[in-house]
Chain A
């Protein structure tokens, strides 16, 4: 990791966390002292050589960075013949990009002298990563997970428990990710003195959108350098999936100052935008405040937050990180939906053509790359952030493709 990875950038928000009209702190006064403390510790840490060394060492020796950049030649034949490179966050320890952020925040937790960590999880990727970092650093760990998700992702519940975390099923609301965040916030307000809320995406109140982004900037920094070495030039397009938006903001920042590089975020289109069953917050949402920040939001005309729908539990969130709302408004990034069907087609295609089973989240980015490649043609060069691996998604794949397992069981 380069030393400057966490350093302040011209793209940072103002000192109260506003990216233009987005972000800020829409949250209870009782938690303001905690986010002020976090912001103060982070501002020191991001320029402290000891902190940077320790973070770099963990990323290298524990998470397995740098992650590879792999050219997907056979997959690219289906993408209009454009060259397609995959940033292999699936090869990180715990199987996704999430480990970058949890290692950074766990280090900050220790610096703040807090002993207990709470986190939310949807599919379980962030919960497993958090439980992993807490096991490594000797922190007590409590994971809030919607009861529906604990049933859909029973294996990840078992992983978290094996790693020493307490998993609390959330039984309020729709019992999914949004409700898990609500419950984590309720825990935080009651236990803030000794507890850090290790938020899993680049959303929430300031400073979370900045520090989560910064802990993932390593993805973009590495990808840019690796691509220059392997292809000898910058890409035309960088594409990533966007739920809350942490993997996307991490890779985008490696290229944000290269005006020739298009940044494309692919949102979960679910059953299609017309169906109303989707999670395409930036494409179809309206401005609102949820979980501490102003951003685009899926809500009804009364401002009640609506449920997102996606085949990918990790993208199943009605909000989005505020910096993405800003990048959409300024036009620096563009956001499109990919449906469940398009994502699953890309999921199968990458598996068959490259021998890489991607997470269904990342398969949305792959679906985007197939479209973009056909636009660009053979001269095109695309980097896809392969944010996670698909082992966790096999039950969904079995049901979607009818992979013969049901017949075998019968």
Chain B
């Protein structure tokens, strides 16, 4: 059973999508990221994605790249991640970690899963690990009862959507556009079609991300997705000290229209 099932079930009862907010651990500092994540939880994020800063973030646009660079320059270490996850759990939040694969490999896949679970983390989003290469992670995540969130993209074939859905646990992450992270003016025309395709293969919740920055866009996605994922906009909000306001706006957005039954 998925660790995130309860969250999505509750949102469904409330006829809304879940709000999933991202922040890199260690940004702006390790303690600072704990504070920001706590604010995100208290102001209405149903799930938070705690990012693991990495030297070569090929799926990220400039905003998250700069945040990761700042965290690493500030001396962020992988072991700091678990303290950040723990603080989310203590604040009553639901935390998953989003990470490029190499730091997990280096830490040891099973050891990483063990320490993440011990810190109260519920799963892992892996933007550069596809199920084809994930045997070790699949067995470690089963052993430590963690969710596995793989990504699907508008370019994914039916066969790959099927493979990815069968390999995932918790929810599926649908990237709404072909591109890297970063706030956009127009969210996507590809997203509804992708979510429709995914639903032909699975009943698992589908979260949609890439490009969302305001309540109106969140409402637009909430009309057809089970989760609305926001990243770069939160990173930018840290610098303008408007994290609580952004969270509240997005939380209203995901409640603005009923999700399809």
Interface set, chain A 281-325, CB cutoff 8 A to B: 286-291, 297, 299, 301-306
B105 CB to nearest A CB, Å? 6
Q: Give A193's nearest chain B residue, CB to CB.
A: B178
Q: Is the CB of A32 within 8 A of B128?
A: no
Chain B 127-159 near chain A by CB (<8 Å), digits 1 or 0: 111101100000000000000001111111100
Q: Which residues of B contact A151 (CB under 8 A)?
A: none
Chain A 189-230 near chain B by CB (<8 Å), digits 1 or 0: 111110000000000000000000000000000000000000
* Interface-centre pick from A27, A193, A297, A302 (highest chain B CB count, 10 A): A302
Q: How many residues of A contact B (CB 8 A)?
A: 38
The listed residue (B104, B132, B151, B175) touching A303 by CB distance below 8 A is B104
Task: Determine if A280 is an interface residue (Cβ-Cβ < 8 Å).
Answer: no
Q: Is the CB of B56 within 8 A of A182?
A: yes
- Chain B interface size, as a band, is 35 or more
Q: Is the CB of B156 within 8 A of A33?
A: yes
Q: Is the CB of A189 within 8 A of B157?
A: no
B73 CB to nearest A CB, Å? 11
Q: Which residues of A contact B225 (CB under 8 A)?
A: none
Chain B 200-229 near chain A by CB (<8 Å), digits 1 or 0: 000000000000000000000000000000
Stretch at the interface among B6-14, B58-66, B115-123, B251-259: B58-66
Q: Is the CB of A32 within 8 A of B106?
A: no
Q: Which residues of B contact A301 (CB under 8 A)?
A: 106
Q: Is the CB of A26 within 8 A of B157?
A: no
A173 and B175 CA atoms in complex are apart in Å by 25
Chain B 37-56 near chain A by CB (<8 Å), digits 1 or 0: 00000000000000000111
Q: Is the CB of B160 within 8 A of A29?
A: yes
Q: Which residues of B contact A173 (CB under 8 A)?
A: 55-56, 69
Q: Give A179's nearest chain B residue, CB to CB.
A: B56
Task: Determine if B192 is an interface residue (Cβ-Cβ < 8 Å).
Answer: no
Task: Determine if B242 is an interface residue (Cβ-Cβ < 8 Å).
Answer: no
A29 and B164 CA atoms in complex are apart in Å by 9
B122 CB to nearest A CB, Å? 21
The listed residue (A28, A178, A305) touching B102 by CB distance below 8 A is A305
Say yes or no: A305-B55 contact (C-beta < 8 A), given A29-B164, A33-B156, A288-B106.
yes
The listed residue (B78, B106, B132, B178) touching A189 by CB distance below 8 A is B178
Task: Determine if A186 is an interface residue (Cβ-Cβ < 8 Å).
Answer: yes
Task: Determine if A250 is an interface residue (Cβ-Cβ < 8 Å).
Answer: no
A25 and B102 CA atoms in complex are apart in Å by 13
Q: Is the CB of A27 within 8 A of B103?
A: no
Chain B 94-109 near chain A by CB (<8 Å), digits 1 or 0: 0000000111111100
Chain A 40-53 near chain B by CB (<8 Å), digits 1 or 0: 00000000000000
Task: Determine if A30 is an interface residue (Cβ-Cβ < 8 Å).
Answer: yes
Q: Is the CB of B133 within 8 A of A33?
A: no
Q: Which residues of A contact B127 (CB under 8 A)?
A: 28
Say yes or no: A28-B65 contact (C-beta < 8 A), given A173-B56, A189-B179, A301-B106.
no
Q: Is the CB of B130 within 8 A of A305?
A: no
Task: Determine if B25 is an interface residue (Cβ-Cβ < 8 Å).
Answer: no
Q: Which residues of A contact B196 (CB under 8 A)?
A: none
Task: Determine if A110 is an interface residue (Cβ-Cβ < 8 Å).
Answer: no
A182 and B78 CA atoms in complex are apart in Å by 22
Q: Is the CB of B55 within 8 A of A304?
A: yes
Q: Which residues of B contact A178 (CB under 8 A)?
A: 56
A25 and B129 CA atoms in complex are apart in Å by 8
A25 and B154 CA atoms in complex are apart in Å by 19
Q: Is the CB of A29 within 8 A of B58?
A: no
Q: Which residues of A contact B166 (CB under 8 A)?
A: none
Q: Give A287's nearest chain B residue, CB to CB.
A: B105
Task: Determine if A351 is an interface residue (Cβ-Cβ < 8 Å).
Answer: no
Chain A 272-286 near chain B by CB (<8 Å), digits 1 or 0: 000000000000001
A306 and B55 CA atoms in complex are apart in Å by 8
Q: Is the CB of B128 within 8 A of A28?
A: yes
Q: Is the CB of A299 within 8 A of B155?
A: no
Task: Determine if A131 is an interface residue (Cβ-Cβ < 8 Å).
Answer: no
Q: Which residues of B contact A260 (CB under 8 A)?
A: none
Say yes or no: A29-B102 contact (C-beta < 8 A), given A172-B65, A304-B55, A305-B56.
no
Q: Which residues of B contact A303 (CB under 8 A)?
A: 54, 78, 102-107
The listed residue (B56, B103, B153) touching A302 by CB distance below 8 A is B103
Q: Is the CB of A25 within 8 A of B107?
A: no
A407 and B151 CA atoms in complex are apart in Å by 60
18 pairs of residues in contact across A and B, judged by CB atoms under 8 Å: A16-B132, A28-B59, A30-B175, A32-B155, A33-B155, A33-B156, A33-B157, A189-B58, A191-B178, A193-B178, A287-B105, A290-B56, A291-B56, A302-B103, A304-B72, A305-B55, A305-B102, A306-B55
Top 4 A-B residue pairs of the complex, sorted by shortest distance between their CB atoms: A303-B106, A30-B153, A303-B103, A190-B179
- Listed in ascending order, the chain B residues whose CB lies under 8 Å from chain A are 54-59, 61-62, 65, 69, 72, 77-78, 101-107, 127-130, 132-133, 150-157, 160, 164, 175, 177-180
Given contacts A186-B180, A289-B102, A301-B106, list 20 more A-B pairs with CB under 8 A: A16-B132, A24-B133, A25-B133, A26-B102, A26-B133, A28-B58, A28-B127, A29-B130, A29-B150, A29-B156, A29-B164, A182-B56, A189-B179, A190-B177, A190-B179, A190-B180, A192-B155, A288-B106, A291-B56, A303-B103
